[in-house]
Structure 1
């Protein structure tokens, strides 16, 4: 169920009328690339998400059977090695559902931070762990570095002859990962439809393989997705189309200056923001435009929210919604626009996945951008490669000057700005609590919206928005002294070196775009340093 409270409903009605006049929904279902741009590049080969649900329904018996084989083989853990669209959907499902009784525990590793890698290693028995090597391109540097590392551990545990039985690949047809998996005797290779971009792939093998391995009812998940898929059909009047309506609202409010789409969710589905954040930021953050998704921000008194916001409340029936209900009521009464989406149960996340995919594509048409490419992501990758080459040649990183005062950075803020915290840290409970304290201090003192991304994960999520979106961001990079490090087999650099190179590469890419950025090096007690920073800003 979808409800709207607040002013400016006429904005949405005007956008819907324009979409209807242009037959945007009908043309989208016909996979007409001119909905977005005259050039079909990275559009016509990225629309497979529109009809993947039916294709995946036919694969449910295969997925359930494979999950049974893995359980019977005695695996205790499944560790997904992936980035961006390969990892964020599975992480949402992991946090929302966990694992069914007798099924292995899923862990998602999408980081090169050494402490994070070691934390996963220390939690598993490599001999009884199945590793999902998940990459659309088949060559993602983080994924393949993690594969090399955990392959060496599995080889030590079970031997070189049979290590491949502890690995599964999920990739596109014809990639180097497919070739590697077949040569090295992986237990299984799942080839995903090639015409689905990473951030639109949660209802394909990239999301469903890890879901099935944890015993999740993927048939019902797809059934719920299919129901809203049908409700969004071209034959449905546009004002009754849940995906088109949400997309029109997203785009119209962004064009009116309310570009901070602030997601509030019931606690049991609180991780949904991880996935939708990438979907929106990477799809719309380009050509100097963009919708800025605000996820997992601390709930505040309405006085601390500016008029650059639109709120979306995902409310799960049966959850303890006392706190978010009260907060949302206060926000709506203050005059902010609020969209409320009611979910009868957790499996309705399947429906939300598709609703938001279609809505984001529609919002792209409203904004006049192409929502399926990510033109600035490669920029950070290229700079990171250059930094790594310099390190390998000279044994040190290039000197890059950057301001180091969060206060000085935030004193530059103006109405409509937002702070992006980019933390190259392991997200321990203490660090997460400290970062929440920091976000609260910034909101109270400077009245700006805040986002939080862990590096290098966010490079495959909000990183595109940071470089290609509007210039209203303030970027605070947090890096830490390394107390732990790990070599990457076959490479001349370590995980710590790769992580530091990624941070420096992104810093340079932001500076090249003229972004306002500060870089703070924390000591070894990250949480204490962040709390001190928050106190100084208060």
Structure 2
């Protein structure tokens, strides 16, 4: 049976659970207090809450920037700019990635490349795909000092400087908060434009701010139309008398209350043209709710399987785009509902309705934080991973070596994964490598095998991107995660200008720092080194499911000792 309209409310008995929680939401005036920016909705102290609620009025506030955005887009067309490369991480990159894949560039507008990695193969791939003299580079960082962004800037600044016909700083555009080091650097280097974003917006809530709108405008998107859709959703989210009449509150209460009841895996299904929306929602939900050993585990782009393969810890949300090839997902969603899984369906008329969904999910995540009793606007463990990376790099600069880590073979990794899994587990696959179709096909096989054989939830993220996305949940959220880290050989490597370390060394340091952080929090974490053909390594893991258990893991392996479990 085809799905022809939104089903924005859950079927019984799940809707009854939401209704029971709704009385408290209305009684405590959550909607009114959220719009008045009352920090006490979450915690008794205002720390990092009162300066993170500017996203509530972005659909209206950003209209003042439309003229400047149109001017920049017109300059790009007039000057024959063919490519725009966005250098950003987390909230600065995942929203633009949704725009890139869901809309594509309009006729006559440049292509957008989103570069949120330190893996040298990925950096080199984008570098080879552009004509530097006809490229704009967006340097996007809220803090203005993110190590990945600054390293990428150094690389492309040197590239442009060595290119015939370059225009130096006129090819660079900064997007940052007022008064950051990036703002100062942009002035010193003569950047074409500095977009100063409102400082009271966290990175993961910034898609409808200049961090998302500048790249969207350069692609040729209709910014007033996008903001208009978001504004209409914001108006609907002002309804305070009825939870069921407020789409943002309803989704937030549903996510929060069902998570407390054991259904803490929000699985996002989306029509193929808007499939990357789940990656953006992952970072929003994971980084906002994954703390104090609580949290909602968002799941994006997981292979679609029969309803009986899933555990009883799931909630499914389907974003259905009108006119897309939805037949397979429609059947799947109907089967999930018949099997008794909680399912919500949101209908989108066209990709511009993503503006409304961005706002709905931001609002819902803030409400879910209230329901869970956590502060959704900080990210303590993200800084922990940054500190670990810096410590590992400092050690490398002193000794010329990275710390050793226990490495498993594919067979050992398959057995170790199986040994850690139980009802309610999720497996996070974390890949420090360059994307490719064969690799992503192999990852899908691995995720499918894990769900089929163990009925667990799976997530997948590229490193170091996930450190600014789901990394907070991994360390601060529920202790139900099992982590498989896949690390590329990083050859050939690529030097970072004016640094004593390369992109490959930085990526390895980030992988090592995060592995150490996971282990310090008592999270099961397994490392596998990817060989010359990364897909083959992943397929080798899949092929060993069901094999006899591997020998117990050693805690350390001498650097030069001959062993199938090398230290890297």
| TM-score bracket, shorter-length normalisation | over 0.9
CA contact (8 A) 1:483 1:524 kept: no
Indicate whether 1:284 and 2:289 are aligned: yes
CA distance in 2, matches of 1:349, 1:412: 38
Which residue among 3, 28, 37 is the counterpart of 2:34? 28
Q: What residue ranges of structure 2 are gaps of 5+ in the alignment?
A: 1-5, 547-568
Q: Secondary structure at the match of 2:179?
A: coil
CA contact (8 A) 2:407 2:529 kept: no
Correspondence list, 1:366-381, <5 A = 366-381=371-386
Instruction: Say which is worse superposed, 37-46 or 57-66, in terms of deviation.
Output: 57-66
CA contact (8 A) 1:7 1:335 kept: no
- Equivalence for 1:532: 540
Indicate whether 1:191 and 2:177 are aligned: no
CA distance in 1, matches of 2:285, 2:223: 24
**Deviations 1:469-505 (Å, cap 9, x if unpaired)?**
0100001101122221100000000000000000000
CA contact (8 A) 2:29 2:240 kept: no
CA distance in 2, matches of 1:98, 1:410: 40
Q: Secondary structure at the match of 2:433?
A: coil
- Equivalence for 1:309: 314
**Deviations 1:9-47 (Å, cap 9, x if unpaired)?**
211111211111111111000000000001100000000
CA contact (8 A) 1:6 1:335 kept: no
CA contact (8 A) 1:6 1:336 kept: no
CA distance in 2, matches of 1:402, 1:292: 27
CA distance in 2, matches of 1:141, 1:392: 16
CA contact (8 A) 1:7 1:336 kept: no
- Equivalence for 2:452: 444
CA contact (8 A) 1:80 1:131 kept: yes
CA distance in 2, matches of 1:125, 1:44: 43
CA distance in 1, matches of 2:163, 2:270: 42
Correspondence list, 1:11-410, <5 A = 11-158=17-164, 162-235=167-240, 237-401=242-406, 405-406=412-413, 407-410=415-418
CA contact (8 A) 1:203 1:222 kept: yes
Instruction: Say which is worse superposed, 457-466 or 10-19, in terms of deviation.
Output: 10-19
CA distance in 2, matches of 1:263, 1:370: 23
Please tell me the root mean square deviation across aligned C-alpha atoms, in Å: 1.2
Q: Secondary structure at the match of 2:493?
A: coil
TM-score (normalised: structure 1):
0.98
Q: Secondary structure at the match of 2:491?
A: coil
Shift of 1:354: 0.2
Q: Secondary structure at the match of 1:157?
A: coil
Q: Secondary structure at the match of 2:252?
A: helix
CA distance in 1, matches of 2:262, 2:9: 21
Count how many residue pairs are aligned between Structure 1 and Structure 2: 537
CA distance in 2, matches of 1:229, 1:14: 24
CA contact (8 A) 1:441 1:535 kept: no
Q: Secondary structure at the match of 2:268?
A: strand
CA contact (8 A) 2:407 2:528 kept: no
- Equivalence for 1:456: 464
CA distance in 2, matches of 1:156, 1:410: 51
Shift of 1:537: 1.6
Shift of 1:409: 2.5
**Deviations 1:491-536 (Å, cap 9, x if unpaired)?**
0000000000000000000010011111111211001111121121
CA contact (8 A) 2:239 2:245 kept: no
CA distance in 2, matches of 1:153, 1:206: 24
CA contact (8 A) 1:486 1:496 kept: yes
- Equivalence for 1:8: 14
Q: Secondary structure at the match of 2:395?
A: helix
TM-score (normalised: structure 2):
0.93
- Equivalence for 1:413: 421
Instruction: Say which is worse superposed, 60-69 or 394-403, in terms of deviation.
Output: 394-403
Shift of 1:235: 4.9
CA contact (8 A) 1:6 1:338 kept: no
- Equivalence for 1:429: 437
- Equivalence for 2:561: none
Q: Secondary structure at the match of 2:501?
A: coil
Shift of 1:158: 4.5
Instruction: Say which is worse superposed, 519-528 or 493-502, in terms of deviation.
Output: 519-528
Q: Secondary structure at the match of 1:4?
A: coil
CA distance in 2, matches of 1:402, 1:384: 19
CA distance in 2, matches of 1:61, 1:24: 35
Shift of 1:65: 1.7
